[in-house]
Structure 1
């Protein structure tokens, strides 16, 4: 059944990076009250974190690398994290779990991770609707790692496998774990959806026997391609290099790797996005359609870039929940 719904709705990466820094990204937001677009108070920011790698990740070439948190001064304050050396998941457990789960990957141009508007806020919104949500703190490729271009995908694959391996503890169905990503995190989301079986790292324990394929994917205003003129220049520079060869460019352009086995997709973009051209989403949609993959597409004329999940100008969380329920990510909900 073709579940494609392409809609146009009425409705930039433009925040400064000056501010404070700190050692732990979760501390500034714990206890901060947050409301959804209906005015309902959301669950608090989680304090539960799970490390991805049992003895830490391999391949660090810069011993001086350390995690830094900066706060964007534009309202609302957002934490921007880089220097991640302890890849981990922030876990949002719902009061009434419906069995579905979602791995959430914040963006930041592969320069930093925007952990609030594209991470914790997403966890707080969707956990309130019964989904168990995992926000990924992943390694950044330009910070001194071996196999630099693949370290984000290593962490994303490992995260999906860990979530499935601990399904009983998390009270989820291991067969129903989706992935959502924003901007460069949307590129990582699409990379996982198309490259879940890519041999980017060797197994370290029994967790790596799990299948890393997501049940569905949701790249939101995503960097899909690394092709010059289509990609986001900063993401390309950080992931593969500004002067990457045509071969490398093609390898990390996710629209080239869609197959009939790629999971169903929910796509969302604003047409006035000045940072990541909407043509990225259209290219991924075209590849999904050509492969016969179910895809639902929502385009807003206005909204810019980086609007996250709580912008009243671009309300989309219920659209995703409807799609996820149609696809079977969960069968009962207190959301709709």
Structure 2
């Protein structure tokens, strides 16, 4: 990393011990998906809709049955994960006073599952409290034999943005003010969308698919980015699970987000911890460097710590730095009017 790159890089160490303690406090709930708030009461589901009208494309060889499980058998009944997803969905939390902006949240799960609650969580509730319409999606997984292979989650992400854009007037949002935020493997999905939004990954199924899939801005939180030396091995294994040996290297290149940043790439906030034991911090650094090389607006924050994922709030109930920092970047780059 050269001096110019270092000048653009924020390694946030101020207040690091307190931040690290707060990470540990809620690490279990934030490990794979998005930060959640523990509750022993089953909450009602948010309004939801399927991403696809009918069966999702390319599922002729998929025989697995979608299922959801509690991430802890005796834990929070809202803390769920979905496996073998065949009918990806989009939920929405609408604010009392919409400000015209919207954020699509993309949870993680190592591409083995998607860790998300139908009742929503801390992040969508926080965003809605600020006036943003908050959407959350599930996505199909590359370990199942979908025809699109490693691009199957990108298909769903493109479709989600187009659906939101097609219903902008109903939700009271500006179609040009739709941001995305991805977490862990969901950060990889968000990164693919932020760089390959213009790629046609599926045949249009309705009028919504005539719309752009480009988000205005993205936040990539402790993201899986590369399939190379610093890859998250579990995600890479799932991405390559159904890939023929002769095209493995080509797919690794195709699925390495940092290698595909276009000149009109989406501005990205990238956040994580310095010593993430699951997804090496080098993933975020590679993405930041690629964005800067393409002259795409970018900001990188690495907080001191050795955890993967962190909660929205500390033990005292106060917001941790990452949420406001990511939101401020998104507001500057298209989320706000």
State the SS of the aligned residue for 2:284.
Answer: helix
Q: Give the structure 2 partner of residue 50 of structure 1.
A: 49
Number of aligned residue pairs: give it.
307
Supply the distance in 2 between the matched residues of 1:311 and 1:192 (Cα, whole angstroms).
30
State the SS of the aligned residue for 1:250.
Answer: helix
Q: Give the structure 2 partner of residue 236 of structure 1.
A: 236
Considering only aligned residues, what root-mean-square deviation do their CA atoms show, in Å?
A: 2.9
Q: Give the structure 1 partner of residue 330 of structure 2.
A: 324
2:219–2:330 CA contact under 8 A, matched in 1: no
Equivalences for 1:1-336 in 2 at 5 Å?
6-9=10-13, 10=16, 11=19, 46-60=45-59, 61-72=61-72, 78-116=79-117, 120-227=121-228, 229-241=229-241, 245-302=248-305, 304-311=307-314, 314-331=320-337
My pick for the range that moved more, 104-113 or 138-147, is 138-147
Q: Deviations over 1:268-313 (max 9, x none)?
A: 0101210000000000000001111111211101151032434559
**Unpaired segments ≥5 residues, structure 2:** 30-37
State the SS of the aligned residue for 1:144.
Answer: coil
Offset, 1:64:
4.3
State the SS of the aligned residue for 2:219.
Answer: strand
Offset, 1:123:
1.1
Q: Give the structure 2 partner of residue 38 of structure 1.
A: none
Offset, 1:46:
4.8
My pick for the range that moved more, 155-164 or 306-315, is 306-315
For normalisation by structure 1, the TM-score amounts to 0.83
For normalisation by structure 2, the TM-score amounts to 0.83
**Unpaired segments ≥5 residues, structure 1:** 17-27, 33-43, 332-336
My pick for the range that moved more, 136-145 or 148-157, is 136-145
My pick for the range that moved more, 79-88 or 203-212, is 79-88
1:15–1:74 CA contact under 8 A, matched in 2: no
User: CA 1:113/1:178 → structure 2, altered by over 3 Å: closer, same or farther?
Assistant: same
Supply the distance in 1 between the matched residues of 2:331 and 2:185 (Cα, whole angstroms).
26
Supply the distance in 2 between the matched residues of 1:272 and 1:290 (Cα, whole angstroms).
25
1:46–1:92 CA contact under 8 A, matched in 2: no
Supply the distance in 1 between the matched residues of 2:230 and 2:64 (Cα, whole angstroms).
35
Q: Deviations over 1:20-62 (max 9, x none)?
A: xxxxxxxx97966xxxxxxxxxxx7652001111112122223
